[in-house]
């Protein structure tokens, strides 16, 4: 697998309030937020995706936030929430037997979707199951590495839960490695230029300088024929000097860096240094 590494320097990015970071001296960026952990190697991330079929048509779907959309307003009781987290459900209605396709996709049965829902839980002995009182086929917006996609979903209405839980209904053959998402990329996003070569990468890190708790950023870029890894890196941290006695608030700022790719992004996957897919939008 051929890998190209490019270092692109950039000035301070945009700022804004955010969450994350860590209290203590120095910039607010933390490993996995403004910078990659020391153990994360871009080459390893690229290797994980070396078999991704960039030439496939249609391109496989890559979910970035799982195949299940939780009830929008949560749960009315702690007992119901615990049952949900345990994947404990009781079908108290008749599940539909069809259809076999929707919106151009082959879809799994309602019972198979219920299996997907149960699989995300961690079983807990003695948990009283949540009753499923209605099942219907609908559509829902799922997060993918190319932005939200409206896809067929089985909608399960739970007893004493205001909003339904929605489970992706399309067959796993449309998904890359039947992925259920990787949360390490959830706080990051990117946009690509019209020619596909300029990538603006957004992440949480230290506030923009100059300040004792601020930092500017550049980014390291590693590319292969199937994926691209962008790793933000601090430059000129704490431009006002030593912060040995400076306590910085645990507040991170939304920052951006812009990098140039050696070739258009195309169907390649944008990754964190840990190998998680990052959502990319285009003009």
Domain residue spans of the chain: 4-58+183-281, 68-178
Asked if the model's pLDDT at residue 4 lies above 50, the reply is no
Exposure letters 32-71 (e unless 16+ CB within 10 A, then b)? bbbbbeeebbbeebbbbbeebeeeeeebbbbbbbbbbbeb
Residue 212: predicted pLDDT = 75
Cα separation, 110 vs 154, whole angstroms: 6
For the chain, the C-alpha Rg in angstroms (whole number) is 22
pLDDT, mean of residues 241-259: 76
The mean predicted confidence, pLDDT, of the chain is 83
pLDDT tens, 27-63? 333 343 445 555 678 999 999 999 999 999 999 999 9
- List the single range of 67-71, 209-213, 230-234 with lowest mean pLDDT: 209-213
Beta-bridge partners for 136:
155
Give the strand pairing for 269-271 and 227-235: parallel
User: Considering the entire predicted model, what is its pTM?
Assistant: 0.80
Q: How confident is the model at residue 122 (pLDDT cuts 50, 70, 90)?
A: very high
pLDDT tens, 59-109? 999 999 999 999 999 999 999 999 999 999 999 999 999 899 999 999 999
Q: Are 252 and 28 in contact (CB under 8 A)?
A: yes
Residue 37: predicted pLDDT = 56
Q: How confident is the model at residue 250 (pLDDT cuts 50, 70, 90)?
A: confident
Sequence-distant (≥ 6) Cβ neighbours of residue 76 within 8 angstroms: 160, 161, 162
Q: How confident is the model at residue 211 (pLDDT cuts 50, 70, 90)?
A: confident
Asked if the model's pLDDT at residue 148 lies above 70, the reply is yes
Q: Among residues of the chain, what percentage have pLDDT more than 70?
A: 79
């Amino acid at each position: 697998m051929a890998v190209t590494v490019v270092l692109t320097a950039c000035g301070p990015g945009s700022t804004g309030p955010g969450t994350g970071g860590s209290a203590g001296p120095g910039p607010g960026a933390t490993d996995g937020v403004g910078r990659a952990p020391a153990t994360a190697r871009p080459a390893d991330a690229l290797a994980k995706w070396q078999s991704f079929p960039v030439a496939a048509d249609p391109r496989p779907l890559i979910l970035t936030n799982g195949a299940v959309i939780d009830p929008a307003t949560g749960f009315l009781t702690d007992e119901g929430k615990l049952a949900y987290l345990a994947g404990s459900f009781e079908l108290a209605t008749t599940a539909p037997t069809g259809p076999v396709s929707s919106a151009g996709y082959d879809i799994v049965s309602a019972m198979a979707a219920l299996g997907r829902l149960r699989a995300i839980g961690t079983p807990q002995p003695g948990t009283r199951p949540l009753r499923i009182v209605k099942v219907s086929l609908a559509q829902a917006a799922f997060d993918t590495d190319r932005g939200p996609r409206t896809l067929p979903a089985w909608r399960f209405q739970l007893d004493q839960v205001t909003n339904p839980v929605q489970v992706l209904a399309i067959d796993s053959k449309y998904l890359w490695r039947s992925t259920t998402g990787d949360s390490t990329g959830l706080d990051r996003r990117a946009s690509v230029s019209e020619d596909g070569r300029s990538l603006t990468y957004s992440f949480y890190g230290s506030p923009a300088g100059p300040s004792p708790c601020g930092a500017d950023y550049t980014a390291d870029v590693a590319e292969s024929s199937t994926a691209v890894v962008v790793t933000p890196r601090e430059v000129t941290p704490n431009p006002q000097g030593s912060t040995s006695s400076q306590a910085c608030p645990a507040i991170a700022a939304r920052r951006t860096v812009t990098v140039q790719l050696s070739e258009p992004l195309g169907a390649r996957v944008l990754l964190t240094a840990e190998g998680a897919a990052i959502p990319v939008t285009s003009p």
